[in-house]
Structure 1
Amino acid sequence: MSIRTKVFKNMYQDSVSLMQISAHISKLAGIEQASVVMGTSTNLAQLRDAALDDGCTAGPNDLVIAVRGEISACDGALVIAQERLNSKPEESSGDGVRPPPLASLEMAVEQQTAPNLALISVPGDYAAAEAIKALRLGMSVMLFSDNVSLAHERAIKTLAAEKKLLVMGPDCGTAIINGLPLGFANVVRRGAIGVVAASGTGLQEVTCRIDQLGAGISQALGTGGHDLHESIGGISMLYGLDALSADPDTHVIVLISKPPAPAVAEKILARARAAGKPVVVNFLGARAEDMNVPGITPAYTLADAASFAVALLSGSELPASVAEVSTPDAGRLHDYSRTLRPMRRFIRGVFAGGTFCYESQLLCRQRGFAASSNTPVASNSKLEDIWHSTGHTLVDMGDDDFTRGRPHPMIDPTLRNQRIHAELNDPQTAVVLFDLVLGYGASTEPARELLELIEHARLQAAGKDLPVLISHVCGTEADPQVRSRQVDTLREAGVLVAGCNAQAALWASHVAHLQAQK
């Protein structure tokens, strides 16, 4: 194996584009691993950790391509990556004219007609400064960048509050503004339900479920995962809540987060009560007594948050919680369990969405199955070796431990699929539980890639039993991947496809319960 790197001086592209190029060249024959990143000190350290460093020198304004594999394959991969870096995007107009790149936010403001939103995706060391520049120029900010300190986040959001502007992020990967999907968002119909979420995949699940139930989204605002930390105080969620309260096109509001700091939760719930509109609150894992607030509709799961919001919009009775409904496919799950040997006892969850992993842990725990995880909920244990499962294990493959030097599994599911294959081959696995997340930026055919893996596992099993495969697909019919096409592909491969993440976790728990009784 050989390592090859190439440095492009003073070339910048956003992180999503670089991850997509990384994913493309990683799949080339003869390539073991590849990464395309900006040459920040953090990224260079991650290349060293991933054994992708051949001693190249690069600065933070430089772009680095690093590949490991067969010598000829590495040379070819560098050429292909450079071609993709230099390729022109499809023209939106027919005149063939591309606007010249702008060197600063100030130039953008000069050349645009009253821009009011800046999407910032630069290395975290520089993100705070760019966000502050945008705010001072009168623009709200979607800060896609991560690795921004709490102190810098507080400074950014304090300035935004003073200027009555919104900051989504840091580490905000998803939003829908005036019907336009930003980041890892899905194509959903316009409507009268507004969402403010501290979770990207949580926002995706709720907006997609609302679309599937026939309603639509007015605005979907991300806050970043640390907004409800005590030191930040929920500044962005409070701003978003107030904005949706004043928006005549929003009739119902949904708030999504992991449990906030108590003082922050109290402030948000008090503001929600005064919104003058129905508000559904899903603080994943919050105690029921903490959510028993007059004027607020608490939701235990992400799917509940969507269905409750649609019911409130139509003035109909609230449906039962997903967690309270008996398993509709109990008979089929019993049939699957009968084919499993008694030694198959454990749930193995492999997730691209961090919030899906979190919610699944909560639901499995509620059903009596404590699990290990690289991102454990409060009552679960930390996985000792993130690369190997023991007992019930649910892993978030999108966590930093797995994505250093690699694209996120929503963009390139290769590493996640390898983990699924390993769990299929473990004789103690009863259920492999996983998600497929669709939308802009995500893998173009995630189910098809899994199909080959599943067929290979069946051939290896040579007629012996395989674990039950249970999945849920987060997406819509209007997404580039087309949700029904992905669902059909999975079902053809023998995968049980649930209607939502919570239902998939409950199905997995049901199979594990049946196995424990053998």
Structure 2
Amino acid sequence: MLHTIIKENSYQDSVNLMLLTNRLSAMEGVNKISVMMGTPANLDIFKNTGLYTIELEEAKPNDMCIVVHADSEETVGRVLDELDSFLKNQAVSSSAKEFETVRTWDRAMKTLSGANVAIISVPGQYAAEEAEKALNNGLHAFLFSDNVSIEDELRLKKLAHEKGLLVMGPDCGTGIASGIPLAFANVVTEGNIGIVGASGTGIQEVTTIIDRLGGGVSHAIGTGGRDLSNSIGAITMMDSIRALENHSGTKVITIISKQPAKEVRNQVVELLRSVSKPVVALFMEEKPAEQEGHVIYAGTLEETAVLSVQLANGNELTGLISENSTSLPAVELKAKQTAIKGLFSGGTLAAEAAMFISEALGLRGLIHEEGYLLKVNGHEVIDLGDDKYTQGKPHPMIDPETRIQFIQEAAKDEGTAIILLDVVLGYGSHDDMAGALLPAIVAAQDEAAASGRNLYFVATVCGTEKDPQDYQEQKTKLESAGVIVRESNVQAIKTTLKLLNIEVPGTKRAFHPVGALENKESLLVSEQISKLVNEKPAIVNVGLKKFTQAVTNHGGQVVQFDWRPTAGGNERMRKILALLK
């Protein structure tokens, strides 16, 4: 039986509600439950999941809606008690904050008079409007929100460029500004390598390897995945390259991008040729070009990090990392067991795996099917952070549920030989993802053994010793269940291929010394961009409160904008009010 509870004017951000849903769904007697705000889009999700009730017709966008399928009123009562406890805990945690909370832009700017960055993590339909307000207040916009139209992205980035500001995003998952982790970011040593990336987990993989190699990062600027498209023209990437060129603390500029539009790529490369610092550039889904003087092209995320550190230290360029854990265990597989199942929480890590496996199998690039980056001959590589898998659910870096389901399905497939995983640490991610996945891994191995098969897991942990999670403990937990853990994504991929006796594509290339570079004419940047790269950021956090933790923990200034939908979420009234302003 379906039971509906509506908490009027009880706005909570979507991540909190998704986590609350998971918490309530684990309660005994709860068959199915969903907790969402009463927006039109969310009401459609209720309908699509079979949880829509007539009571929801009265719900408003600022109302919290809970629909629970349970067999008894007693269970519903326990759900209500747990819900009330959650809301009280939210109130307590907010009162114990190390930052002020405001409700308007005017108040935010008065409370933190030196603010220069806004982190925006509101629902996509409101994100462009809030980003424009940030720009008009003289703030750089870090747009964590996704589902922003390409037209809005172009408009915002043009406006930012005219104002001497940056729009990082939309769908910008990570960043580092003068040692301050932004959004889903790892804690890495400060140093002299500056990174610009149209790739979230690509930035995380490169920065964490740099840290583990003893290097450091000055800045990591995310651009959003569409920045190098023909529609946008790399506006943010080009302005960010100019920013790092003018930053005295940056000695090496590192570029990471998913497959760019050809003309845009050429524009970016032309700019890179004109900077006075050595450059490492990785353009995913293409073979690395030959070195062009001080511009060095990498083939993998790991090689990108290694070359950056070698340049920063003035060492000989090899692009090779010391692979001190290359011994392979003996594996016993049935004749049918030939397939790799790559179940990734990081989109760029999934793309790297799909490309590498595709090349090893002699295929021509990625083979896309809805929800898959690679699906051929039983091999599958999936980005579980894709919109297909996250509608109404937390991202797989936060919540293991979706990946656990895929592990269970892969274990039942008699053709599965190896399950390939990533575990991404850092702020925003699950407190103990290895521990959360462990029961599913053990159960999958036991299920395979019961049917006379061996099932192998290979994983990489993307993180550093300074991350909120215990990096070594995460590795140890995985290894305790027999998981083969490697130091990078590409090493995990190579290990997986070798275990199946599939020839690993060659990656070794020749490099030549960069030598002394000319002091070329400076590529000018605005005063606002210069301040961004030369000072600690002062941040207005619009949306997810959890993003304040990283800022305050690392000595940054932040004010929390306790955002609510304008006009109570009434779309027509919101547009009228926007026009009146």
TM-score, scaled to structure 1: 0.88
Could you report, residue by residue, the CA deviation over 1:27-69 in whole angstroms, capped at 9, with x for unpaired residues?
Answer: 4444455544443333332333233333414333444344445
Q: CA deviation at 1:254?
A: 1.2
Matches of 1:438 and 1:49, distance apart in 2? 33
SS at 1:171's partner residue?
A: coil
Matches of 2:295 and 2:164, distance apart in 1? 26
Could you report, residue by residue, the CA deviation over 1:298-346 in whole angstroms, capped at 9, with x for unpaired residues?
Answer: 1111111111111100011123457xx9x8766524x12xx11111011
Is 2:265 the counterpart of 1:269? Answer: no
Matches of 2:485 and 2:2, distance apart in 1? 41
Comparing 250-259 with 43-52, which one deviates more in the overlay? 43-52
Comparing 76-85 with 245-254, which one deviates more in the overlay? 76-85
Partner of 1:473: 461
* Alignment equivalent of 1:348, drawn from 341, 345, 354: 341
> Given the superposition, is the C-alpha separation of residues 233 and 454 from structure 1 closer, same or farther in structure 2, using an over 3 Å criterion?
same
Is 2:47 the counterpart of 1:60? Answer: no
Matches of 1:60 and 1:492, distance apart in 2? 46
Partner of 1:310: 309
Aligned runs of 1:41-440 on 2, under 5 Å? Answer: 41-55=40-54, 56-57=56-57, 58-68=59-69, 71=72, 72-73=74-75, 75-88=77-90, 101-289=101-289, 293-321=292-320, 332-333=328-329, 335-336=330-331, 339-368=332-361, 378-382=365-369, 391-440=378-427
Could you report, residue by residue, the CA deviation over 1:248-292 in whole angstroms, capped at 9, with x for unpaired residues?
Answer: 111112111112111111111111222211111111112434x65
1:18 maps to a residue whose letter is: L
Comparing 309-318 with 99-108, which one deviates more in the overlay? 99-108
Partner of 1:373: none
> Given the superposition, is the C-alpha separation of residues 422 and 99 from structure 1 closer, same or farther in structure 2, using an over 3 Å criterion?
closer
Greater length-normalized contact order (CA 8 Å, ≥ 6 residues apart):
2
* Alignment equivalent of 1:443, drawn from 427, 430, 437: 430
SS at 2:219's partner residue?
A: strand
Gaps of 5+ in 1: 371-376
8 Å CA contact retained: 1:47, 1:405:
no
> Given the superposition, is the C-alpha separation of residues 238 and 40 from structure 1 closer, same or farther in structure 2, using an over 3 Å criterion?
farther
Matches of 2:92 and 2:277, distance apart in 1? 42
> Given the superposition, is the C-alpha separation of residues 408 and 97 from structure 1 closer, same or farther in structure 2, using an over 3 Å criterion?
closer
Q: CA deviation at 1:88?
A: 4.2
1:444 maps to a residue whose letter is: D
Identity, % of aligned pairs?
39
8 Å CA contact retained: 2:306, 2:319:
no
Matches of 1:452 and 1:16, distance apart in 2? 24
1:304 maps to a residue whose letter is: E
> Given the superposition, is the C-alpha separation of residues 279 and 457 from structure 1 closer, same or farther in structure 2, using an over 3 Å criterion?
same
8 Å CA contact retained: 1:469, 1:496:
yes
* Count of equivalent residues: 498
Q: CA deviation at 1:368?
A: 1.2
Matches of 1:194 and 1:98, distance apart in 2? 29
Matches of 1:405 and 1:500, distance apart in 2? 31
1:496 maps to a residue whose letter is: I
8 Å CA contact retained: 2:353, 2:493:
yes
SS at 2:328's partner residue?
A: helix
Matches of 1:264 and 1:303, distance apart in 2? 24
Could you report, residue by residue, the CA deviation over 1:84-108 in whole angstroms, capped at 9, with x for unpaired residues?
Answer: 2442477799xx6887742222220
Matches of 1:98 and 1:8, distance apart in 2? 28
Comparing 276-285 with 312-321, which one deviates more in the overlay? 312-321
1:360 maps to a residue whose letter is: A
1:481 maps to a residue whose letter is: Q
Matches of 1:122 and 1:185, distance apart in 2? 18
Matches of 1:435 and 1:69, distance apart in 2? 35
SS at 1:332's partner residue?
A: coil
Matches of 2:97 and 2:359, distance apart in 1? 58
8 Å CA contact retained: 1:19, 1:411:
no
Comparing 279-288 with 291-300, which one deviates more in the overlay? 291-300
1:234 maps to a residue whose letter is: A
> Given the superposition, is the C-alpha separation of residues 497 and 203 from structure 1 closer, same or farther in structure 2, using an over 3 Å criterion?
same
Matches of 1:62 and 1:173, distance apart in 2? 28
1:137 maps to a residue whose letter is: N
SS at 1:288's partner residue?
A: coil
Partner of 2:569: none
TM-score, scaled to structure 2: 0.79
> Given the superposition, is the C-alpha separation of residues 266 and 87 from structure 1 closer, same or farther in structure 2, using an over 3 Å criterion?
same
Matches of 1:198 and 1:97, distance apart in 2? 32
8 Å CA contact retained: 1:352, 1:398:
yes
> Given the superposition, is the C-alpha separation of residues 354 and 67 from structure 1 closer, same or farther in structure 2, using an over 3 Å criterion?
farther
8 Å CA contact retained: 2:445, 2:455:
no
Comparing 463-472 with 160-169, which one deviates more in the overlay? 463-472
SS at 1:187's partner residue?
A: coil
1:506 maps to a residue whose letter is: K
Matches of 1:61 and 1:263, distance apart in 2? 45
SS at 1:52's partner residue?
A: coil
Matches of 1:218 and 1:439, distance apart in 2? 18
Matches of 2:292 and 2:63, distance apart in 1? 52
> Given the superposition, is the C-alpha separation of residues 17 and 194 from structure 1 closer, same or farther in structure 2, using an over 3 Å criterion?
farther
> Given the superposition, is the C-alpha separation of residues 44 and 178 from structure 1 closer, same or farther in structure 2, using an over 3 Å criterion?
farther
Comparing 8-17 with 179-188, which one deviates more in the overlay? 8-17
Comparing 463-472 with 269-278, which one deviates more in the overlay? 463-472
Could you report, residue by residue, the CA deviation over 1:9-41 in whole angstroms, capped at 9, with x for unpaired residues?
Answer: 444343443343344334444445554444333
Is 2:19 the counterpart of 1:20? Answer: yes
1:448 maps to a residue whose letter is: G
> Given the superposition, is the C-alpha separation of residues 239 and 403 from structure 1 closer, same or farther in structure 2, using an over 3 Å criterion?
same
2:61 maps to a residue whose letter is: P
Comparing 78-87 with 488-497, which one deviates more in the overlay? 78-87
SS at 1:286's partner residue?
A: coil
